[in-house]
Structure 1
Amino acid sequence: MSEWRDSVQDSQARWEANAEHWDDYMGEASNRFHRELIRPSTEKLLNVQKGQTVLDIACGNGNFSRRLAELGAEVIAFDYSAKMVERARLRSKDGIDHIDYRVVDATDDEALLALGRQRFDSAVANMALMDIADITPLIRALHTLLQPNGVFVFSITHPCFQTPHMRKVHEVEEVNGEMRVRDSIQISRYLTAECYSAIGIRNQPLPHLMFHRPLSYYLNLLFSFGFVLDGTAEPSFSKDEDNGQFDWYEMPPAIIFRFRKMSGSCT
């Protein structure tokens, strides 16, 4: 939200401090959360075709950028952390001919539009919008950057289930000689937008800033700029992999949307 624009530089500085730690942790293959939950549904919703031009927003160390290139796409990828982009380039030497990494601030209208009007068949932002202080410039620019009928697929922490101050509850109960396990969450508020500090990876140098917004905020913002919602997914982990601790089985930890730029809409 616009009232958080003063947080942009603070957020960027924190990601610069965390960049190397996050890259070391994610490595070449990313983590289980991305491999099993985010990537499969995102790829299905994007439906990338060989030769398409795709914009990878907040690309981090380039894990998904490289996957897009493997699928035959020409990729423009950006992040506002220069250290992240440097790490992405180092990891992408084999496919760098098909990936153009750039340092761009997703809240900067002019920098976004300089990427190219109606240049992109699709755009993707994996687990990033909740880390951006003001997403209005990005959504506004995407309507210009995408071709007619172009799609924008993005994933975020599920705002209905992962709110600030959310509490995870893992209960074990003996019933008639059997041990039963129940996972649940406690949520005290949802509708109030809030900026808060969070730890995404254990031992990261600094907490990074996250920006909680209710679902209606995301939906109405995209609608206001001429996008229509035509796909969604709420992935969760398979119960077969129960490790005896709290995990996200019946409650999705993330939600993924596909919005489409309406054919013939103005840019």
Structure 2
Amino acid sequence: MSEWKDLTNESQIRWDGIAEFWDDYMGEHSNRFHREIVRPQTEQLLSIVEGQTILDIACGNGNFSRRLADLGAKVVAFDYSSKMIERAKLRSDDYINRIEYKMIDATNYDSLIELGTDQFDGAVANMALMDIADITSLTKAIHQLLKKKGVFVFSIPHPCFQAPNTRKIHETEEIHGEVVTRNSVQISKYLNPEPMETIGIKGQPVPHLIFHRSLSYYVNLFVSSNFVLDGWEEPSFQKDEDSNKRFDWYELPPAVIFRFRKL
């Protein structure tokens, strides 16, 4: 089974339960992962032009929605967590005329289409599709919501390196009198879609659900919905002096970012 729409309600309940914790942690500027891995390449692939209308899918507390507005876009942003939308609005007093926040379930095709066909120059979903139990309706809807040649840019944890039961390994070894450290991941699953619980931020009150899908699943789904893949990035952290003291993803990309264009 590749989609788990029956888990949507459970997923939504959990996100409402951790929304305030995530918002407090992310704050106004988000975390290092979003600042260094997600945002730069996403902005490059979106190539925002002032005056464009952009749809921000699963917007969370609105950090990237506000960034899009700062780049000159008119933004419609939605999330299925009412508490996330509340927090996003509280942080967006200075963006009243530039961002419109809505509470929408991304698995509900009819609610999505009400946003208006051929209305958006682009759409974006930052680290969110893996949180959505069923993305088939969303994929179909996005094609209708976008203008001709409009783009959809989304990032997800890299499924090749963050599959279910992945082990992060930090090794230290002495070679010819020199201490050498290595970071690696051990993968035992990849191809089969699978829902699982995860802790995205250390200390979050309860785990949330994510839905593992292979790279080919995403590509085949969008290509079959009349999109063409015309952008692909696998960003990683830059190695620094502390990299050997922790598991830092400077050789293995922790995320993958796609750009699909409407045909």
**Letter paired with 2:81:** S
**Regions of 4+ moved over 6 Å:** none
The 8 Å contact of residues 227 and 259 in structure 1, kept in 2 or not, is answered as yes
**Cα offset, 1:153, TM superposition:** 0.2
**Cα offset, 1:32, TM superposition:** 0.1
Give the structure 2 partner of residue 72 of structure 1: 72
Q: Secondary structure of 1:239's match?
A: coil
Q: Secondary structure of 2:97's match?
A: helix
The 8 Å contact of residues 239 and 249 in structure 1, kept in 2 or not, is answered as yes
Give the structure 2 partner of residue 147 of structure 1: 147
Give the structure 1 partner of residue 108 of structure 2: 108
Alpha-carbon distance in 2 for matches of 1:189, 1:105: 29
Task: Point out where structure 2 has 5 or more consecutive residues left out of the alignment.
Answer: none
The 8 Å contact of residues 4 and 133 in structure 2, kept in 1 or not, is answered as yes
**Letter paired with 2:97:** D
The 8 Å contact of residues 5 and 134 in structure 1, kept in 2 or not, is answered as yes
**Letter paired with 2:31:** N
Give the structure 1 partner of residue 45 of structure 2: 45
The 8 Å contact of residues 80 and 104 in structure 1, kept in 2 or not, is answered as yes
Task: Point out where structure 1 has 5 or more consecutive residues left out of the alignment.
Answer: 263-267
The 8 Å contact of residues 2 and 194 in structure 2, kept in 1 or not, is answered as no
Alpha-carbon distance in 2 for matches of 1:17, 1:205: 8
Give the structure 2 partner of residue 231 of structure 1: 231
TM-score of the aligned structures, taking structure 1 as reference length: 0.97
Aligned length: 262
TM-score of the aligned structures, taking structure 2 as reference length: 0.98
User: Per-residue CA shift, 1:29-84, capped at 9, x if unaligned?
Assistant: 00000000100000000000000000000000000000000000000000000000
Alpha-carbon distance in 2 for matches of 1:71, 1:91: 17
Give the structure 2 partner of residue 217 of structure 1: 217
The 8 Å contact of residues 2 and 133 in structure 1, kept in 2 or not, is answered as no
**Cα offset, 1:176, TM superposition:** 2.0
User: Per-residue CA shift, 1:202-250, capped at 9, x if unaligned?
Assistant: 1111100000011111000000110000001000000125341111011
The 8 Å contact of residues 149 and 260 in structure 1, kept in 2 or not, is answered as yes
Alpha-carbon distance in 1 for matches of 2:3, 2:152: 25
Change (3 A) 1:230 1:203: same
**Letter paired with 2:89:** R
Alpha-carbon distance in 2 for matches of 1:104, 1:241: 44
Alpha-carbon distance in 1 for matches of 2:81, 2:140: 22
Q: Secondary structure of 1:130's match?
A: helix
**Letter paired with 1:159:** P
**Cα offset, 1:2, TM superposition:** 6.0
Give the structure 2 partner of residue 28 of structure 1: 28
CA RMSD of the aligned region, Å? 0.9
User: Per-residue CA shift, 1:99-123, capped at 9, x if unaligned?
Assistant: 0000000000110000111000000
**Letter paired with 1:254:** A
Query: Which is further off, 20-29 or 3-12?
Result: 3-12
Q: Secondary structure of 1:169's match?
A: strand
Give the structure 1 partner of residue 253 of structure 2: 252
